[in-house]
Protein backbone atom coordinates (compact mmCIF):
# COMPACT_ATOMS: atom_id res chain seq x y z
CA UNK A 1 0.00 0.00 0.00
CA UNK A 2 1.63 3.32 -0.99
CA UNK A 3 1.69 6.14 1.55
CA UNK A 4 -1.19 8.06 0.04
CA UNK A 5 -4.62 9.29 1.04
CA UNK A 6 -5.85 7.77 -2.23
CA UNK A 7 -5.61 4.54 -0.17
CA UNK A 8 -7.26 6.04 2.90
CA UNK A 9 -10.13 3.56 3.11
CA UNK A 10 -7.75 0.57 3.01
CA UNK A 11 -5.45 2.18 5.55
CA UNK A 12 -8.28 2.79 7.98
CA UNK A 13 -9.59 -0.73 7.46
CA UNK A 14 -6.16 -2.06 8.41
CA UNK A 15 -5.99 0.23 11.44
CA UNK A 16 -9.31 -0.99 12.76
CA UNK A 17 -9.02 -4.67 11.84
CA UNK A 18 -5.82 -5.54 13.65
CA UNK A 19 -4.36 -5.19 17.12
CA UNK A 20 -1.12 -3.20 17.13
CA UNK A 21 1.79 -3.45 19.54
CA UNK A 22 1.87 0.30 19.84
CA UNK A 23 -0.41 3.19 18.92
CA UNK A 24 1.25 6.60 18.80
CA UNK A 25 -0.88 9.72 19.20
CA UNK A 26 0.64 12.68 17.34
CA UNK A 27 2.28 12.97 13.93
CA UNK A 28 4.90 15.63 14.61
CA UNK A 29 8.62 14.85 14.61
CA UNK A 30 8.39 13.12 18.01
CA UNK A 31 5.66 10.71 16.92
CA UNK A 32 7.33 10.13 13.54
CA UNK A 33 10.63 9.27 15.22
CA UNK A 34 8.93 6.83 17.58
CA UNK A 35 7.04 5.18 14.72
CA UNK A 36 10.30 4.65 12.80
CA UNK A 37 12.20 3.30 15.79
CA UNK A 38 9.37 0.97 16.84
CA UNK A 39 8.70 -0.32 13.32
CA UNK A 40 12.37 -1.07 12.65
CA UNK A 41 12.55 -3.14 15.83
CA UNK A 42 9.68 -5.28 14.61
CA UNK A 43 6.84 -3.75 16.62
CA UNK A 44 3.48 -3.57 14.87
CA UNK A 45 3.05 0.19 14.86
CA UNK A 46 0.14 2.57 14.24
CA UNK A 47 0.15 6.36 14.42
CA UNK A 48 -2.70 8.85 14.25
CA UNK A 49 -2.45 12.59 13.65
CA UNK A 50 -5.48 14.86 14.01
CA UNK A 51 -4.30 17.43 11.46
CA UNK A 52 -1.71 16.95 8.75
CA UNK A 53 1.65 15.44 9.71
CA UNK A 54 3.86 18.22 11.15
CA UNK A 55 0.96 20.70 11.26
CA UNK A 56 1.60 21.25 14.98
CA UNK A 57 4.91 22.63 16.23
CA UNK A 58 6.99 20.56 13.83
CA UNK A 59 6.40 22.89 10.87
CA UNK A 60 6.68 26.05 12.93
CA UNK A 61 10.20 26.00 14.37
CA UNK A 62 13.30 28.07 13.54
CA UNK A 63 14.18 25.16 11.24
CA UNK A 64 17.61 24.52 12.71
CA UNK A 65 19.03 21.19 13.71
CA UNK A 66 21.21 22.50 16.49
CA UNK A 67 22.69 21.89 19.88
CA UNK A 68 21.29 25.10 21.25
CA UNK A 69 24.33 27.25 21.93
CA UNK A 70 22.30 29.61 24.06
CA UNK A 71 21.44 26.85 26.51
CA UNK A 72 25.08 26.84 27.55
CA UNK A 73 24.33 30.14 29.21
CA UNK A 74 21.90 28.18 31.40
CA UNK A 75 24.55 25.49 32.03
CA UNK A 76 22.46 22.79 30.35
CA UNK A 77 25.66 21.00 29.46
CA UNK A 78 24.20 17.51 29.20
CA UNK A 79 21.42 18.62 26.90
CA UNK A 80 23.75 20.62 24.65
CA UNK A 81 26.11 17.65 24.41
CA UNK A 82 23.38 15.14 23.63
CA UNK A 83 21.43 17.26 21.19
CA UNK A 84 24.64 18.55 19.60
CA UNK A 85 25.78 15.02 18.84
CA UNK A 86 22.38 14.16 17.46
CA UNK A 87 22.57 16.85 14.84
CA UNK A 88 25.45 15.05 13.14
CA UNK A 89 23.32 11.91 13.01
CA UNK A 90 20.31 13.76 11.61
CA UNK A 91 22.55 15.20 8.90
CA UNK A 92 24.17 11.90 8.03
CA UNK A 93 20.82 10.12 7.70
CA UNK A 94 19.08 12.83 5.72
CA UNK A 95 21.46 15.25 4.00
CA UNK A 96 18.66 16.20 1.55
CA UNK A 97 16.70 17.87 4.37
CA UNK A 98 19.59 19.18 6.44
CA UNK A 99 22.34 21.54 5.27
CA UNK A 100 25.37 22.85 7.20
CA UNK A 101 25.11 26.62 7.53
CA UNK A 102 27.86 28.86 8.89
CA UNK A 103 26.46 31.15 11.55
CA UNK A 104 27.86 34.55 12.48
CA UNK A 105 27.60 35.67 16.08
CA UNK A 106 28.44 39.38 16.11
CA UNK A 107 29.70 40.80 19.40
CA UNK A 108 28.94 44.33 20.46
CA UNK A 109 29.83 46.39 23.50
CA UNK A 110 27.32 45.50 26.24
CA UNK A 111 25.97 42.48 24.22
CA UNK A 112 25.10 38.98 25.45
CA UNK A 113 28.42 37.41 24.56
CA UNK A 114 31.79 39.08 25.15
CA UNK A 115 34.86 38.16 23.13
CA UNK A 116 36.24 35.83 25.75
CA UNK A 117 32.95 34.18 26.66
CA UNK A 118 32.11 33.68 22.96
CA UNK A 119 35.43 32.07 22.28
CA UNK A 120 35.15 29.77 25.29
CA UNK A 121 31.43 29.16 24.73
CA UNK A 122 31.94 28.13 21.12
CA UNK A 123 34.91 25.96 22.00
CA UNK A 124 32.88 24.18 24.68
CA UNK A 125 30.09 23.81 22.14
CA UNK A 126 32.47 22.28 19.58
CA UNK A 127 33.70 19.88 22.21
CA UNK A 128 30.30 18.94 23.67
CA UNK A 129 28.62 18.57 20.30
CA UNK A 130 31.59 16.61 18.88
CA UNK A 131 31.86 19.07 15.99
CA UNK A 132 33.96 17.81 13.06
CA UNK A 133 37.29 19.53 12.45
CA UNK A 134 36.34 21.40 9.30
CA UNK A 135 33.35 22.89 11.07
CA UNK A 136 35.00 24.09 14.28
CA UNK A 137 34.48 27.65 15.30
CA UNK A 138 36.75 30.56 14.56
CA UNK A 139 36.87 34.04 16.02
CA UNK A 140 36.69 37.04 13.69
CA UNK A 141 37.91 40.62 14.08
CA UNK A 142 35.73 43.59 13.15
CA UNK A 143 36.87 43.68 9.54
CA UNK A 144 36.35 39.96 9.05
CA UNK A 145 32.95 40.15 10.72
CA UNK A 146 31.82 42.90 8.38
CA UNK A 147 33.16 41.13 5.35
CA UNK A 148 31.00 38.13 6.26
CA UNK A 149 27.98 40.35 6.73
CA UNK A 150 28.24 44.06 5.85
CA UNK A 151 24.72 44.78 7.14
CA UNK A 152 25.66 44.13 10.79
CA UNK A 153 25.61 47.21 13.04
CA UNK A 154 29.08 48.77 13.07
CA UNK A 155 28.50 50.87 16.16
CA UNK A 156 30.17 49.13 19.14
CA UNK A 157 31.14 46.07 17.07
CA UNK A 158 33.98 44.11 18.68
CA UNK A 159 34.21 41.17 16.31
CA UNK A 160 32.34 37.92 15.85
CA UNK A 161 32.20 34.21 16.40
CA UNK A 162 31.80 31.94 13.40
CA UNK A 163 30.46 28.44 13.81
CA UNK A 164 28.31 25.86 12.05
CA UNK A 165 24.62 25.21 12.57
CA UNK A 166 22.47 22.94 10.42
CA UNK A 167 19.49 24.33 8.58
CA UNK A 168 16.56 22.05 7.91
CA UNK A 169 13.03 22.03 6.64
CA UNK A 170 11.22 20.85 9.77
CA UNK A 171 8.03 19.74 8.01
CA UNK A 172 9.93 17.85 5.32
CA UNK A 173 12.19 16.26 7.92
CA UNK A 174 9.06 15.06 9.71
CA UNK A 175 7.47 13.74 6.54
CA UNK A 176 10.68 11.93 5.50
CA UNK A 177 10.88 10.23 8.91
CA UNK A 178 7.19 9.35 8.68
CA UNK A 179 7.65 7.94 5.16
CA UNK A 180 10.60 5.88 6.40
CA UNK A 181 8.40 4.52 9.20
CA UNK A 182 5.70 3.60 6.67
CA UNK A 183 8.33 1.98 4.41
CA UNK A 184 9.33 -0.16 7.42
CA UNK A 185 5.77 -1.33 7.97
CA UNK A 186 4.26 1.27 10.33
CA UNK A 187 0.75 2.54 9.58
CA UNK A 188 0.65 6.34 10.12
CA UNK A 189 -2.57 8.12 9.11
CA UNK A 190 -3.22 11.86 9.21
CA UNK A 191 -6.55 13.61 9.93
CA UNK A 192 -7.54 11.06 12.59
CA UNK A 193 -8.21 12.70 15.94
CA UNK A 194 -8.14 10.75 19.18
CA UNK A 195 -11.30 11.63 21.06
CA UNK A 196 -11.32 8.89 23.67
CA UNK A 197 -8.90 6.34 25.04
CA UNK A 198 -9.97 2.71 25.37
CA UNK A 199 -9.29 0.58 28.46
CA UNK A 200 -9.31 -3.17 29.21
CA UNK A 201 -10.93 -4.85 32.25
CA UNK A 202 -7.86 -4.10 34.36
CA UNK A 203 -8.20 -0.41 33.54
CA UNK A 204 -5.11 -0.43 31.32
CA UNK A 205 -5.14 1.68 28.19
CA UNK A 206 -5.57 -0.55 25.11
CA UNK A 207 -6.29 1.77 22.21
CA UNK A 208 -8.23 4.84 21.17
CA UNK A 209 -11.35 5.98 19.38
CA UNK A 210 -10.35 8.39 16.64
CA UNK A 211 -12.61 10.61 14.53
CA UNK A 212 -11.79 10.89 10.85
CA UNK A 213 -11.58 14.65 10.24
CA UNK A 214 -12.26 14.16 6.53
CA UNK A 215 -15.42 12.04 6.85
CA UNK A 216 -16.61 12.46 10.45
CA UNK A 217 -16.59 8.69 11.05
CA UNK A 218 -15.21 7.37 14.34
CA UNK A 219 -12.88 4.35 14.36
CA UNK A 220 -11.55 2.23 17.19
CA UNK A 221 -7.90 1.26 17.07
CA UNK A 222 -6.58 -1.42 19.44
CA UNK A 223 -3.01 -1.57 20.70
CA UNK A 224 -1.11 -3.21 23.54
CA UNK A 225 0.61 0.09 24.37
CA UNK A 226 -0.31 3.70 23.70
CA UNK A 227 2.19 6.55 23.48
CA UNK A 228 1.08 10.14 23.84
CA UNK A 229 3.36 12.22 21.58
CA UNK A 230 0.89 15.05 21.12
CA UNK A 231 3.36 17.92 21.63
CA UNK A 232 1.50 21.00 22.90
CA UNK A 233 -1.57 18.79 23.37
CA UNK A 234 -0.02 16.11 25.60
CA UNK A 235 -1.91 17.45 28.61
CA UNK A 236 -5.25 17.25 26.79
CA UNK A 237 -4.58 13.55 26.12
CA UNK A 238 -3.57 13.10 29.78
CA UNK A 239 -6.87 14.74 30.74
CA UNK A 240 -8.74 12.12 28.71
CA UNK A 241 -6.69 9.52 30.62
CA UNK A 242 -7.52 11.15 33.99
CA UNK A 243 -3.79 11.45 34.63
CA UNK A 244 -3.00 15.13 34.27
CA UNK A 245 -1.21 15.64 37.56
CA UNK A 246 2.29 16.44 38.80
CA UNK A 247 4.27 18.14 36.07
CA UNK A 248 2.34 19.85 33.29
CA UNK A 249 3.09 21.76 30.12
CA UNK A 250 3.42 25.47 29.69
CA UNK A 251 3.19 26.74 26.13
CA UNK A 252 5.22 29.62 24.78
CA UNK A 253 4.72 31.09 21.33
CA UNK A 254 7.42 31.88 18.78
CA UNK A 255 6.95 33.93 15.62
CA UNK A 256 9.13 34.25 12.51
CA UNK A 257 8.89 36.83 9.72
CA UNK A 258 9.86 36.32 6.08
CA UNK A 259 11.25 39.21 4.02
CA UNK A 260 12.37 39.25 0.40
CA UNK A 261 16.13 39.45 -0.20
CA UNK A 262 15.56 42.58 -2.29
CA UNK A 263 14.51 44.30 0.97
CA UNK A 264 16.80 42.47 3.39
CA UNK A 265 19.80 41.24 1.38
CA UNK A 266 21.37 39.20 4.15
CA UNK A 267 24.10 36.99 2.73
CA UNK A 268 25.08 35.22 5.92
CA UNK A 269 23.06 33.58 8.71
CA UNK A 270 23.38 35.65 11.89
CA UNK A 271 22.54 34.88 15.52
CA UNK A 272 22.14 38.22 17.22
CA UNK A 273 21.13 40.21 20.29
CA UNK A 274 17.75 41.92 20.55
CA UNK A 275 17.35 45.24 22.36
CA UNK A 276 15.88 43.33 25.35
CA UNK A 277 18.89 40.99 25.52
CA UNK A 278 17.39 37.89 23.99
CA UNK A 279 18.92 36.27 20.93
CA UNK A 280 17.28 35.66 17.57
CA UNK A 281 18.28 34.26 14.19
CA UNK A 282 18.25 35.87 10.75
CA UNK A 283 18.67 33.24 8.05
CA UNK A 284 18.86 33.56 4.27
CA UNK A 285 16.86 30.94 2.39
CA UNK A 286 15.58 30.57 -1.17
CA UNK A 287 15.79 34.27 -2.04
CA UNK A 288 14.24 35.33 1.28
CA UNK A 289 15.48 36.14 4.76
CA UNK A 290 13.60 34.84 7.76
CA UNK A 291 13.98 36.18 11.26
CA UNK A 292 12.86 34.91 14.66
CA UNK A 293 11.84 34.07 17.16
CA UNK A 294 9.76 35.68 19.85
CA UNK A 295 9.16 33.76 23.08
CA UNK A 296 6.01 34.65 25.03
CA UNK A 297 3.65 32.64 27.25
CA UNK A 298 0.64 31.40 25.31
CA UNK A 299 -2.77 30.43 26.68
CA UNK A 300 -4.97 30.23 23.56
CA UNK A 301 -5.74 27.36 21.19
CA UNK A 302 -2.50 25.76 19.95
CA UNK A 303 -4.08 24.73 16.63
CA UNK A 304 -3.62 28.08 14.97
CA UNK A 305 -1.24 30.39 16.80
CA UNK A 306 -0.92 33.68 14.95
CA UNK A 307 1.50 36.54 14.56
CA UNK A 308 0.15 39.52 16.49
CA UNK A 309 0.88 43.18 15.87
CA UNK A 310 3.23 43.25 18.85
CA UNK A 311 5.13 40.12 17.67
CA UNK A 312 5.68 41.78 14.33
CA UNK A 313 6.83 45.04 15.90
CA UNK A 314 9.20 43.18 18.23
CA UNK A 315 10.97 41.38 15.37
CA UNK A 316 11.08 44.43 13.12
CA UNK A 317 12.66 46.39 15.98
CA UNK A 318 15.19 43.62 16.51
CA UNK A 319 16.12 43.66 12.80
CA UNK A 320 16.48 47.42 12.68
CA UNK A 321 18.52 47.35 15.91
CA UNK A 322 21.15 44.94 14.50
CA UNK A 323 20.93 45.84 10.81
CA UNK A 324 20.27 49.60 10.93
CA UNK A 325 20.76 50.25 7.22
CA UNK A 326 17.96 47.94 6.03
CA UNK A 327 15.09 49.90 7.63
CA UNK A 328 12.44 47.19 7.53
CA UNK A 329 8.81 48.31 7.76
CA UNK A 330 5.52 46.44 8.22
CA UNK A 331 4.72 46.22 4.52
CA UNK A 332 8.06 44.51 3.82
CA UNK A 333 6.80 41.38 5.56
CA UNK A 334 5.96 38.83 2.90
CA UNK A 335 4.95 35.94 5.11
CA UNK A 336 5.21 34.69 8.68
CA UNK A 337 4.57 31.71 10.87
CA UNK A 338 3.88 31.13 14.55
CA UNK A 339 4.37 28.01 16.64
CA UNK A 340 4.01 26.98 20.25
CA UNK A 341 6.71 25.25 22.25
CA UNK A 342 5.53 22.41 24.46
CA UNK A 343 7.72 23.16 27.49
CA UNK A 344 7.64 21.46 30.85
CA UNK A 345 6.48 24.07 33.33
CA UNK A 346 8.99 25.39 35.84
CA UNK A 347 7.76 27.74 38.52
CA UNK A 348 9.02 31.31 38.37
CA UNK A 349 10.96 31.09 35.10
CA UNK A 350 10.67 33.39 32.08
CA UNK A 351 9.74 31.76 28.75
CA UNK A 352 13.31 31.79 27.40
CA UNK A 353 14.69 30.34 30.65
CA UNK A 354 12.50 27.23 30.75
CA UNK A 355 14.49 24.11 29.91
CA UNK A 356 13.96 22.42 26.52
CA UNK A 357 14.75 18.97 27.84
CA UNK A 358 12.38 16.06 27.34
CA UNK A 359 10.78 13.74 29.89
CA UNK A 360 8.73 10.55 29.84
CA UNK A 361 5.78 10.12 32.18
CA UNK A 362 3.80 6.92 32.77
CA UNK A 363 0.26 6.98 34.12
CA UNK A 364 -1.47 4.31 36.23
CA UNK A 365 -3.31 3.16 33.10
CA UNK A 366 0.01 2.52 31.33
CA UNK A 367 -0.26 5.56 29.02
CA UNK A 368 3.25 6.72 28.18
CA UNK A 369 3.64 10.44 27.57
CA UNK A 370 6.71 12.06 26.05
CA UNK A 371 6.92 15.80 26.63
CA UNK A 372 9.28 18.68 25.93
CA UNK A 373 12.36 18.22 23.77
CA UNK A 374 13.53 19.66 20.47
CA UNK A 375 13.29 18.78 16.82
CA UNK A 376 17.00 18.01 16.82
CA UNK A 377 16.79 15.37 19.53
CA UNK A 378 13.86 13.46 18.03
CA UNK A 379 15.79 10.27 17.20
CA UNK A 380 17.32 9.89 20.63
CA UNK A 381 13.99 10.65 22.32
CA UNK A 382 12.39 7.95 20.19
CA UNK A 383 15.12 5.46 21.01
CA UNK A 384 14.70 6.11 24.74
CA UNK A 385 10.93 5.64 24.82
CA UNK A 386 11.00 2.57 22.55
CA UNK A 387 13.71 1.06 24.80
CA UNK A 388 11.27 1.49 27.65
CA UNK A 389 8.51 -0.08 25.58
CA UNK A 390 10.71 -3.05 24.68
CA UNK A 391 11.55 -3.54 28.36
CA UNK A 392 7.84 -3.58 29.21
CA UNK A 393 7.07 -6.16 26.51
CA UNK A 394 9.89 -8.29 27.88
CA UNK A 395 8.69 -8.10 31.47
CA UNK A 396 4.99 -8.45 30.75
CA UNK A 397 4.91 -11.00 27.95
CA UNK A 398 8.46 -12.23 27.49
CA UNK A 399 8.60 -10.82 23.97
CA UNK A 400 11.95 -9.49 22.86
CA UNK A 401 12.69 -6.86 20.27
CA UNK A 402 16.00 -5.89 18.72
CA UNK A 403 17.89 -2.76 19.71
CA UNK A 404 17.41 0.56 17.99
CA UNK A 405 19.02 0.82 14.56
CA UNK A 406 18.00 4.37 13.70
CA UNK A 407 21.41 5.88 14.45
CA UNK A 408 22.70 4.63 11.12
CA UNK A 409 19.43 4.31 9.22
CA UNK A 410 18.81 6.77 6.37
CA UNK A 411 15.40 8.41 6.47
CA UNK A 412 13.27 8.36 3.32
CA UNK A 413 15.20 10.06 0.50
CA UNK A 414 18.42 9.78 2.51
CA UNK A 415 19.86 6.78 0.65
CA UNK A 416 22.52 8.84 -1.09
CA UNK A 417 25.60 6.99 0.14
CA UNK A 418 26.15 9.17 3.23
CA UNK A 419 26.30 12.94 3.72
CA UNK A 420 29.83 13.20 2.32
CA UNK A 421 28.64 11.70 -0.97
CA UNK A 422 25.60 13.93 -1.33
CA UNK A 423 27.23 16.49 -3.68
CA UNK A 424 28.35 13.70 -5.98
CA UNK A 425 24.85 12.23 -5.84
CA UNK A 426 23.39 15.63 -6.79
CA UNK A 427 25.72 15.97 -9.79
CA UNK A 428 24.98 12.50 -11.06
CA UNK A 429 21.20 12.70 -10.64
CA UNK A 430 21.00 16.23 -12.03
CA UNK A 431 22.33 14.89 -15.31
CA UNK A 432 19.62 12.24 -15.30
CA UNK A 433 17.04 14.98 -14.91
CA UNK A 434 18.43 16.98 -17.81
CA UNK A 435 18.41 13.86 -19.95
CA UNK A 436 14.61 13.76 -19.65
CA UNK A 437 14.30 17.39 -20.66
CA UNK A 438 14.47 19.30 -17.37
CA UNK A 439 16.69 22.35 -17.09
CA UNK A 440 19.81 21.81 -14.95
CA UNK A 441 18.41 24.24 -12.37
CA UNK A 442 15.07 22.45 -12.04
CA UNK A 443 16.69 19.07 -12.03
CA UNK A 444 19.15 20.05 -9.30
CA UNK A 445 16.36 21.58 -7.24
CA UNK A 446 14.36 18.35 -7.34
CA UNK A 447 17.39 16.19 -6.51
CA UNK A 448 18.30 18.35 -3.52
CA UNK A 449 14.74 18.33 -2.25
CA UNK A 450 13.85 14.67 -2.65
CA UNK A 451 17.25 12.97 -2.35
CA UNK A 452 17.14 9.31 -3.28
CA UNK A 453 13.39 9.47 -3.99
CA UNK A 454 13.99 11.73 -6.97
CA UNK A 455 13.88 8.72 -9.34
CA UNK A 456 10.15 8.40 -8.68
CA UNK A 457 9.66 12.04 -9.65
CA UNK A 458 11.78 11.76 -12.79
CA UNK A 459 9.76 8.72 -13.77
CA UNK A 460 6.51 10.67 -13.33
CA UNK A 461 7.89 13.45 -15.49
CA UNK A 462 8.96 11.01 -18.17
CA UNK A 463 5.67 9.17 -18.34
CA UNK A 464 2.91 11.59 -17.29
CA UNK A 465 4.10 15.10 -18.09
CA UNK A 466 1.06 15.87 -20.27
CA UNK A 467 -0.96 16.11 -17.03
CA UNK A 468 0.99 19.25 -16.13
CA UNK A 469 -0.02 20.92 -19.39
CA UNK A 470 -3.64 19.82 -19.02
CA UNK A 471 -3.87 21.57 -15.65
CA UNK A 472 -1.77 24.60 -16.60
CA UNK A 473 0.86 23.74 -14.01
CA UNK A 474 4.63 24.21 -14.40
CA UNK A 475 6.31 20.84 -14.67
CA UNK A 476 8.24 21.09 -11.39
CA UNK A 477 5.25 22.22 -9.33
CA UNK A 478 3.07 19.53 -10.90
CA UNK A 479 5.63 16.81 -10.16
CA UNK A 480 5.82 17.90 -6.52
CA UNK A 481 2.04 17.89 -6.29
CA UNK A 482 1.64 14.46 -7.84
CA UNK A 483 4.37 13.05 -5.59
CA UNK A 484 2.85 14.70 -2.47
CA UNK A 485 -0.54 13.14 -3.25
CA UNK A 486 0.68 9.71 -4.29
CA UNK A 487 3.58 9.21 -1.88
CA UNK A 488 3.34 11.69 0.99
CA UNK A 489 -0.25 11.61 2.25
CA UNK A 490 -1.05 15.21 1.23
CA UNK A 491 -4.83 15.60 1.53
CA UNK A 492 -5.44 19.33 1.16
CA UNK A 493 -3.98 22.30 -0.75
CA UNK A 494 -2.59 23.66 2.55
CA UNK A 495 -0.78 20.36 3.17
CA UNK A 496 0.83 20.77 -0.22
CA UNK A 497 1.64 24.48 -0.18
CA UNK A 498 2.76 24.56 3.43
CA UNK A 499 4.19 21.30 4.71
CA UNK A 500 5.18 19.46 1.49
CA UNK A 501 6.81 22.40 -0.30
CA UNK A 502 7.16 25.35 2.12
CA UNK A 503 5.78 27.64 -0.61
CA UNK A 504 3.33 29.31 1.76
CA UNK A 505 6.29 30.53 3.80
CA UNK A 506 9.06 31.08 1.25
CA UNK A 507 7.38 31.42 -2.14
CA UNK A 508 3.99 32.96 -1.56
CA UNK A 509 3.87 34.18 -5.20
CA UNK A 510 3.69 30.60 -6.42
CA UNK A 511 0.75 29.97 -4.09
CA UNK A 512 -1.07 33.01 -5.39
CA UNK A 513 -0.32 32.18 -9.03
CA UNK A 514 -1.21 28.50 -9.00
CA UNK A 515 -3.69 27.91 -6.20
CA UNK A 516 -6.60 27.45 -8.63
CA UNK A 517 -4.75 24.89 -10.75
CA UNK A 518 -3.53 22.96 -7.69
CA UNK A 519 -7.03 22.83 -6.23
CA UNK A 520 -8.48 21.59 -9.54
CA UNK A 521 -5.84 18.88 -9.76
CA UNK A 522 -6.50 17.75 -6.18
CA UNK A 523 -10.26 17.90 -6.70
CA UNK A 524 -9.96 15.46 -9.60
CA UNK A 525 -7.51 13.20 -7.78
CA UNK A 526 -9.72 12.95 -4.69
CA UNK A 527 -13.13 13.32 -6.35
CA UNK A 528 -14.13 16.37 -4.35
CA UNK A 529 -17.54 17.89 -4.94
CA UNK A 530 -17.90 21.64 -5.39
CA UNK A 531 -18.59 22.21 -1.69
CA UNK A 532 -15.41 20.39 -0.67
CA UNK A 533 -13.41 22.29 -3.26
CA UNK A 534 -14.75 25.60 -1.95
CA UNK A 535 -13.98 24.57 1.61
CA UNK A 536 -10.33 23.79 0.79
CA UNK A 537 -10.04 27.00 -1.16
CA UNK A 538 -11.26 28.95 1.89
CA UNK A 539 -8.84 27.09 4.10
CA UNK A 540 -5.95 28.09 1.86
CA UNK A 541 -7.07 31.71 1.70
CA UNK A 542 -7.28 31.79 5.48
CA UNK A 543 -3.70 30.50 5.76
CA UNK A 544 -2.55 33.13 3.26
CA UNK A 545 -4.19 35.79 5.35
CA UNK A 546 -2.67 34.46 8.64
CA UNK A 547 0.74 34.62 7.00
CA UNK A 548 0.48 38.31 6.24
CA UNK A 549 -2.10 40.01 8.43
CA UNK A 550 -1.26 40.21 12.13
CA UNK A 551 -3.94 39.59 14.75
CA UNK A 552 -4.52 42.20 17.45
CA UNK A 553 -3.94 39.63 20.18
CA UNK A 554 -3.46 35.87 20.73
> 105-133 b/e with 16+ CB inside 10 Å = b?
bbbbeebbbeeeebbebbbebbebbebee
CB atoms within 10 A of CB 331: 8
Taking CB under 6 A as the binding criterion, the range among 14-22, 109-117, 231-239, 406-414 that sits at the site for ligand FAD is 231-239
Helix (H) / strand (E) containing 146: helix 142-148
Least separation in angstroms between residue 378's CB and ligand FAD is: 7
* CA 229/CA 369 separation, integer angstroms: 6
Q: Under the criterion CB under 6 A, does residue 357 sit at the interface with ligand FAD?
A: no
15 or 468: CB nearest ligand FAD? 15
Residue 308 · residue 553 · CB < 8 Å: yes
Q: Under the criterion CB under 6 A, does residue 461 sit at the interface with ligand FAD?
A: no
Contacts of 323 (CB under 8 A, 6+ apart): 151, 152, 153, 264, 266, 282
Q: Out of 44, 73, 115, 193, name the contact with ligand FAD by CB under 6 A.
A: 193
Cβ burial of 14 (10 Å; 0-12, 13-18, 19+) is middle
Q: Under the criterion CB under 6 A, does residue 48 sit at the interface with ligand FAD?
A: yes
50 or 368: CB nearest ligand FAD? 50
Q: Is 336 helix (H, G, I), strand (E, B) or coil?
A: strand
Least separation in angstroms between residue 336's CB and ligand FAD is: 11
* CA 83/CA 68 separation, integer angstroms: 8
Give the phi and the psi of residue 99 in degrees, each rounded to 5.
-130, 130
Q: Under the criterion CB under 6 A, does residue 28 sit at the interface with ligand FAD?
A: yes
43 or 64: CB nearest ligand FAD? 64
318 or 460: CB nearest ligand FAD? 318
Percentages helix, strand, coil for the chain, rounded to the nearest 5?
45, 20, 30
Q: Under the criterion CB under 6 A, does residue 374 sit at the interface with ligand FAD?
A: yes
* CA 357/CA 359 separation, integer angstroms: 7
Q: Under the criterion CB under 6 A, does residue 296 sit at the interface with ligand FAD?
A: no
> Binding string, 63-82, against ligand FAD, x = CB under 6 A?
xx-x----------------
Q: Out of 21, 37, 49, 334, name the contact with ligand FAD by CB under 6 A.
A: 49
Using DSSP bridges, classify how beta strands 269-273 and 98-108 pair: parallel, antiparallel or unpaired.
parallel
Q: Under the criterion CB under 6 A, does residue 315 sit at the interface with ligand FAD?
A: no
Q: Under the criterion CB under 6 A, does residue 25 sit at the interface with ligand FAD?
A: yes
Q: Out of 24, 35, 38, 50, name the contact with ligand FAD by CB under 6 A.
A: 50
Least separation in angstroms between residue 335's CB and ligand FAD is: 15
Q: Out of 4, 40, 45, 62, name the contact with ligand FAD by CB under 6 A.
A: 62
Can you list the alpha helix ranges (DSSP code H) found in 465-529?
466-471, 475-487, 493-494, 503-506, 508-526
Stretch 112-151 residues interacting with ligand FAD (CB under 6 A): none
Q: Out of 56, 188, 366, 451, name the contact with ligand FAD by CB under 6 A.
A: 56
Residue 540 · residue 497 · CB < 8 Å: yes
Least separation in angstroms between residue 241's CB and ligand FAD is: 11
Q: Out of 340, 382, 475, 484, name the contact with ligand FAD by CB under 6 A.
A: 340
Q: Under the criterion CB under 6 A, does residue 404 sit at the interface with ligand FAD?
A: no
Q: Under the criterion CB under 6 A, does residue 293 sit at the interface with ligand FAD?
A: yes
Q: Out of 91, 163, 166, 233, name the contact with ligand FAD by CB under 6 A.
A: 233
Residue 367 · residue 226 · CB < 8 Å: yes
Can you list the alpha helix ranges (DSSP code H) found in 28-135?
29-40, 77-93, 115-128
Q: Under the criterion CB under 6 A, does residue 55 sit at the interface with ligand FAD?
A: yes
Q: Out of 306, 341, 487, 499, name the contact with ligand FAD by CB under 6 A.
A: 341
Cβ burial of 490 (10 Å; 0-12, 13-18, 19+) is buried
Binding site for ligand FAD (CB under 6 A): 25-31, 48-51, 55-58, 60-64, 66, 193-194, 229-233, 237, 254, 293, 339-342, 373-376
Amino acid sequence: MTFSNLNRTDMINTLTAEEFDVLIIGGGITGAGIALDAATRGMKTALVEMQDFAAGTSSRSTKLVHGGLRYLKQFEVKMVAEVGKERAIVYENGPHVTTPEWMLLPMHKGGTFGKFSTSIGLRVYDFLAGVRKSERRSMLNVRETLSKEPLVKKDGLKGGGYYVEYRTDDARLTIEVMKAAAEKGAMPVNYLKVEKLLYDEQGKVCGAAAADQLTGRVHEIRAKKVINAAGPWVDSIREKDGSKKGKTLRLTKGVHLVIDQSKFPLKQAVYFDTPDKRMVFAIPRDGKTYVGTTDTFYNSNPVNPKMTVSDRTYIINAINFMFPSVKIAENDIESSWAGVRPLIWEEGKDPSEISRKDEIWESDTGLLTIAGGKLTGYRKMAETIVDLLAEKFKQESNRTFSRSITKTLPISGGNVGGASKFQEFIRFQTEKGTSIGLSAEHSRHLVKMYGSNVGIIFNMIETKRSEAENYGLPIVLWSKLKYAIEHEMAATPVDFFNRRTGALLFDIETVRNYQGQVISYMADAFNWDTAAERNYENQLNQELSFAIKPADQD
